[in-house]
Amino acid sequence: MARTRKENPDSLLFIFLGALIFVALIYGPLFFLNDRLYLKIFFFRSGSWPFQTTSTYLFGVGICFLISRYVNLRRETKVANLIDVQSASTISSDTAKKELERVPTGLRETLAYRRISELLKGYLNGEEVIRLNEELSRRDNDLIDRGHALLDSIRQLIPVIGFLGTVFGLALGMVAFPENMAKAATIDNLRETLRDFASSLSVAFETTVLALVYTIIIILITTVLKEREAGLVSRVDRFARDMVSKFRSHHSSMGFSGTTVGSDLESLLNGWLDRWEVLFKRSMEGLAQQLHSRNQ
Quote the CA–CA distance of 117 and 110 in Å, as a whole number. 11
Q: What is the pLDDT at residue 276?
A: 60
Q: Maximum Cα–Cα distance for the chain, whole Å?
A: 133
Q: Which of 172-176, 185-189, 258-262 has the lowest mean pLDDT?
A: 258-262
Q: How far apart are CA 32 and CA 27, in angstroms?
A: 9
Identify the pLDDT of residue 23. 94
pLDDT score for 261: 39
Q: What is the pLDDT of residue 257?
A: 37
pLDDT at 251: 43
- Mean pLDDT, rounded, of the chain: 76
Residue whose C-alpha is closest to residue 163's, from 215, 199, 198: 215
Assess whether pLDDT exceeds 60 at residue 255.
no
Q: Is the Cβ–Cβ distance between 16 and 61 less than 8 Å?
A: yes
Percent with pLDDT over 70 in the chain: 66
CA distance 163 to 169: 10
pTM: 0.69
Q: Which distant-in-sequence residues (6+ apart) come within 8 Å of 75 by Cβ?
A: 107, 110
Output b/e per residue, 110-124; b: 16+ Cβ within 10 A: bbbbbbbebbbebbe
Alpha carbon distance 8, 147 (integer Å)? 13
User: Which 3-state string (H, E, C) describes the chain?
Assistant: CCCCCCCCCCCHHHHHHHHHHHHHHHHHHHHCCCCCCHHHHHHHCCCCHHHHHHHHHHHHHHHHHHHHHHHHHHHHHHHHHHCCCCCCCCCCHHHHHHHHHCCCHHHCCCHHHHHHHHHHHHHHCCCCHHHHHHHHHHHHHHHHHHHCHHHHHHHHHHHHHHHHHHHHHHHHHHHHHHHHHHHCCCHHHHHHHHHHHHHHHHHHHHHHHHHHHHHHHHHHHHHHHHHHHHHHHHHHHHHHHHHHHHHHHHHHHCCCCCCCCCCCHHHHHHHHHHHHHHHHHHHHHHHHHHHHHHHC
pLDDT in tens, 18-34: 999 999 999 999 888 88
pLDDT one-digit tens code per residue, 125-141: 777 888 888 888 888 88
Cβ-based neighbour number of residue 256 at 10 Å: 13
Residue, of 184 and 229, whose pLDDT is higher: 229
- List, for residues 223-248, the tens digit of each pLDDT value: 999 888 888 888 888 878 887 777 65
What is the structure's pLDDT at 115? 85
The answer to whether residue 61 scores a pLDDT higher than 90 is: yes
Tell me how crowded residue 15 is: count the other CB atoms within 10 A of its CB. 22
Residues 264 and 225: their CA atoms lie apart, in Å, by 35
Which carries the bigger pLDDT value, residue 171 or residue 54?
A: 54
Share of the chain above pLDDT 90, in %: 17
